[in-house]
Every structure is written in structure tokens, then in C-alpha cells.
Amino acid sequence: MPPDATATKKRLLAAAYAEFAQYGLAGARVDRIAEAAQANKRLIYVHFGNKSDLFDLVVANSLEDLAKAVPFTAEDLPGYAGRLFDYLLDHPQVLRLTGWSQLERPDAPPAQVDAYRPKIAAIAGAQQENLVTGAVTPADVLALLLGLTTAWANASPALRSLADQPPWDPERLRIHRAAMTAAVQALITLPPSTGEDQSTGPLRTAPTPD
């Protein structure tokens, strides 16, 4: 029987996921991916195109898997942030991949841009229902939420070393998770802007759909 192309593609994608998470796009080697997948290097180009195309696909697949595992809940953003925090702890390669993507592929592929659109729309809808503050635009709400969720993972090791417990100790992570979700709750309950911030000017309120 001829080799199963689907099985080969799955092995190549799994090997590419590990390779790109470890080395990024520039540092990854097609030879290593093929060797890890026990496949001919030529098949990478047959199935996926060039190395950049394969990298974009791996990043997109990892974000799609995340979205399926952690459904976005605009009506409960603190809960979403907590579940996302848990997922990223269990799948640290996702943050590594997205970090490499931001560094090496600053012009995001349309698929990645499109992945944010329904989240932005959902936040805008939650604002209309007064579930999320209207004092912050939907894009800012999402950016701040993601920043809070990944703050501990992205913090300097020197800063994490000053915590009251080892940085990856389960109790330390539980304490940080509670503080993080409380911060998200505070973000989404900000009162409407009543004037200008002295350092940055007025907060922009979210537009009201016609």
C-alpha cells in the first residue's frame, strides 16, 4: 500500500509545531522537521509550500485549536481570561509561536486578522448590553485582557524571582490567576470617562452602532 498522505501531513505538522516553537521561522530547519516526522523533505514543499507558508499554517492551527478549547465569552471576560491562562500554562508553545510570529511576521496574515473580528464584535455587543464598560474601545479591551492574561508568562525572570513563592509553583500561579481575573473584572467595570486624563487625554468611548 502507498504511504498515507494524511498521516504524513499530520507528522510533518506536529514536527513543524515543535520546531517553530523552539527556533522561530528564521531558526527552524526544514531538514530537522522532515527528520522528526520521518518523511522526505520534498513532501514539505509538496503539501505546504515554502517554509514561511508552513510557519503561518502552524501558527493559524495553534490559534484555531486554542479558540476551540477556550471559547470566547464576551459576557464573562474574567472567566475567559482565567480559562485562557490555564490553557496557555498547559500549552506554552502557543505563546512561543505567537511571539515568534510577531517578531518575524509583523504583517499578520489575513486569517489571523479575521480571527479577532468576531471577538471585537462580541465585545461591542456586550458593551451595548452594559456587560462591559463603554469607556474603552473593544480593541483596547481585548488587547488589555490578553496583556493581563499573559503578563506572568511574559514577565522578566528577574521579576518573577522576586515573588513570594517559586514562580511556577501551583499556589503561586493560583494567586496570580486570581489577581489577573480581578484586574480584568476591574477593567470591564471602568466608569464612563468624565474628563481628560492628565497624561494621555480623554478616553475614547466605544462608538454606538446606528
pLDDT per residue as tens digits for the range 121-165: 999 999 999 999 999 999 999 999 999 999 999 999 999 999 999
The model's pTM is 0.85
Say yes or no to pLDDT of 99 above 80: yes
Give the per-residue pLDDT at 192. Answer: 74
pLDDT 10s digits, 34-59 = 999 999 999 999 999 999 999 999 99
Give the per-residue pLDDT at 4. Answer: 59
Write out the chain in H/E/C secondary structure. Answer: CCCCHHHHHHHHHHHHHHHHHHHHHHHCCHHHHHHHHCCCCHHHHHHHCCHHHHHHHHHHHHHHHHHHHCCCCHHHHHHHHHHHHHHHHHCHHHHHHHHHHHHHCCCCCHHHHHHHHHHHHHHHHHHHCCCCCCCCCHHHHHHHHHHHHCHHHHCCHHHHCCCCCCCCCHHHHHHHHHHHHHHHHHHHCCCCCCCEECCCEECCCCCCCC
Give the per-residue pLDDT at 103. Answer: 92
